[in-house]
Structure 1
């Protein structure tokens, strides 16, 4: 008895995601890209990932620093020195795990936006999905959805609108008066949304 899983990594897909990471870093005035892999175990697939990471890094030499870590070490570094990271690029499985770990550092999944960005379009949504376990209770944190809207506005180059919405969210967070239970408050979804709208106005 047993099971075997196949893992497919293509040069085309790796080049796309890694080059996007460098472009994102450059456009957002970041100075470092960290590649995360497990090439010591997954020698062929993650070995290819690491090879392409350093191949593409040459195009940004002098502009963007590049480094790489094993995923297990990265999981520890995210806890012990999260400020050392600027842009992390990795494969889907590791990214899924590390992004949820990162969410734990900033208040949970209710704070995390996400973007699925393709060559011809993009879709933005909260990382937590539909959260059926709390549906209809009025306690879902709307900030992840609104921060996803910020990402969308950035993608659409609506920078002024993005900044206004982001500032309103930060104001409500920093005041700490109107927060949902996941952030230690007792406000409802609607109350938090209303506080952000008021801050926006």
Structure 2
């Protein structure tokens, strides 16, 4: 259900674009994001800071697209969002010596400090590259190709990156202290020392 809520505006944007074009799709994306934030607020009582930022970016860049009747603004929206997320991770690490990934995920995952640092740097680089790739597609191809990339290419690359991150983290996940303190059962044929 959470995955559907997260991708709700993107999917509606894609469908609206295919049916009515870029300007109607932009208006739908703005409305869908407002509904998404309202739903999250009512359902969970709070909205994550990046979701507020995402709402602000879609309202500003989507609004500029509709007011100027120029689709360049909406094409910049994913890049701005990617670069803001990457910048937050970078500034958190360099200026405040705080790993924001660890702050968000540390309660669910126990990983060594060097692994958290590598994850932080890899996400920073990924967001920077995704922002640049979005602009390359937006300026070198037609709007239909850009919209297809936004849904299938962007989400596909994100999915592959997350799978790669999960495989990397899996090697370093630390056991819960209580479980690690229990002795391992002896294999058949092993001598048991008192």
Q: Which has the larger radius of gyration?
A: 2
More helix by share: 2
Q: Same fold (TM over 0.5)?
A: no
Q: Which has the higher contact order (CA 8 A, sep 6+)?
A: 2
Tell me the TM-score normalised to structure 1 length. Answer: 0.30
